[in-house]
Amino acid sequence: MTLVNATTKPQLSWALLFLLITFSKPAQAQQKVVIAIQPTAASDEMLNKAKPLQQFLERSLGGKTKVELYVPSSFAAVVESLRFGHAQVAFMSAWPAQLAVRLGKAEVALAEIRQVQHGKEKVDAPYYYSYWVVAPDSPHKDLPSLKGKSACFPSPISTSGFVAPMGRMVELNLLPAADGKEADPKNFFKEVLFGGGYSQCWQALKQGQVDTTVIAGDVPEKLYNEVLAGTRTIEEQGPIPSHAVVLSRELKEPLRSRVIQSVAKLSAPEHRELMRTFISSIFVGFKPTTAQEHLAGLAKYLKLANLKFTERL
C-alpha cells in the first residue's frame, strides 16, 4: 500500500487543475484587417501584384494580424465595403473618399504624396492642378470664348478631369449655379465627349475632333509634357487632393493606430516600390491628415457643381 502525505494530495490537485484550465482555453482568434483597393485593372491582376504589399503589412503589424487585400468591382463598391464593415481600410481617390466620409462616417487618416506637375515644375505634394488646353493655333484665348464649341473630358467621375473643371466653370459664371441641379457641360458646349482617359482626349484634340480638353498634373510625366508641348493652356483649377487612406469607423484602437503606422512605413525609400508597382507609379509617401484638411478643395468644387457620384459604364 502506498502512503500519501496529507499535504501532497491537495498540491497535486491544484497543479492538475491549473494544467487543465491552461490547456483547455480556446486559442485566441487571429485579428484580420481587410484593405479595399480602388480598382484600376482586372481584380486578379491587381491581387497578384498586391502580394508583396500584403506580406509587408503583415510583418509590419507584428505577424499576429492577418491582412487581406480586396479589389471590389467598382469605385462605389469600395465606399460600400467601408460603409458596411466588409473592409476596415481603403486606398481610394478623392471623390470616393469624400463619399465614404459623408455616407459611412469613415475617417481620412493619410494623404498620398505623389510626384506631380504644378505647371512646368515637378514637385512632391498631396495635391495638384488640372488645366484646360487648346491647340496652339486655336483662335480661343480663354474659356468663355469656347461657348458653343466642343470639349472632351476623360471621365464623368474624374476629380481632376470633370469635377474640378465643372466647379471652375460655375465659379467663372460660365455655367449656372447648382440650384439643386447638377452642372451640365452641355449647357455651355455644343458637343461633349467622354474619352475614357486623358490620353484619349488628347488624341481627340490633336485630330481636331474637339476644340478643348483637360490635362492633369498627376498623369504620367511623358503624357503631361507631350500635351503641354503641343497645346496652349487657357485656364486651370485646383488644388485637387491626391488619393487617401481611409479607415472605417469599425476599426478600433489599438489596431487602428497600428494600421496607420504600418501603412505610413511605406513612405520609406526602400519600401516605396511596393506602392508604385501596385497602386500609384508616382507615389512618394504619406502624410497624416483629416478629411476636412485634405478634401477641402474637392468639397468646394462639388458644392459649386452639385455633382452626384454615378458610375457610368
Statement to judge: residues 136 and 148 lie in one domain: yes
Whether 205 and 228 map to the same domain: the answer is yes
> 199 and 99, same structural domain?
no
- Locate 99 and state its grid cell: 463619399
- Of 199, 220, 241, which residue constitutes the final position of a domain? 241
Q: How far is CA 153 from CA 93, 197, 199, 200, 210, in A?
A: 18, 8, 10, 9, 10
Cβ neighbours around 181 below 10 Å, total: 11
Domain final position from 241, 256, 277: 241
> What per-residue confidence (pLDDT) applies to 38?
81
In a domain? residue 27: no
Q: What is the model's pLDDT at position 41?
A: 64
Residue 155 lies in a domain: yes
CATH of the domain at 195: 3.40.190.10
Assess if residue 3 is contained within a domain. Answer: no
Q: 248 and 108 in one domain?
A: yes
Shared domain for 88 and 190, answered yes or no, is: no
**Average confidence (pLDDT) per 10 residues, the chain, 313 residues:** 39 42 45 86 74 93 89 86 92 92 94 96 96 97 97 94 96 85 94 96 97 96 96 97 95 95 97 89 96 95 86 43
Are residues 166 and 206 both part of a single domain?
yes
- Same domain flag for 106 and 246: yes
The one-letter code for the residue type at 184 is D
Task: Please check whether residue 211 is in contact with residue 146, taking contact to mean a CB–CB distance below 8 angstroms.
Answer: yes
Q: What number of other Cβ atoms are within 10 A of residue 289's Cβ?
A: 18
How many Å apart are CA 134 and CA 232, to the nearest integer? 5
Asked, for residue 22, whether it belongs to a domain, the answer is: no
Same domain for 154 and 216? yes
Residue 256 counted as domain residue: yes
**C-alpha span between 122 and 65 (Å, rounded):** 38
Residue 197 within any structural domain of the chain: yes
Quick one: pLDDT at residue 30?
Answer: 63
pLDDT in the model for residue 28: 45
Cβ atoms of residues 306 and 181 within 8 Å: yes
Q: What is the CA radius of gyration of the chain?
A: 26
Query: Looking at the 3D structure of the chain, how many domains does it have?
Result: 2
Question: Looking at the domain assignment, is residue 177 inside a domain?
Answer: yes
Domain boundaries, position 200? 127-241
Do 65 and 206 belong to one domain?
no
Asked if residue 7 belongs to a domain, the reply is: no
- Reference 117, options 245, 198, 196, 215; nearest CA is 215
Same domain, 236 and 144: yes
H or E segment at 245? strand 244-247
The candidate with the shortest Cα–Cα distance to 289, out of 145, 126, 120, 140, is 126
Instruction: Say whether both 131 and 151 belong to one domain.
Output: yes
Residues 42 and 135 in one domain: no
What's the predicted TM-score (pTM) here?
0.84
Q: Which of 211, 241, 271 is the last residue of a domain?
A: 241
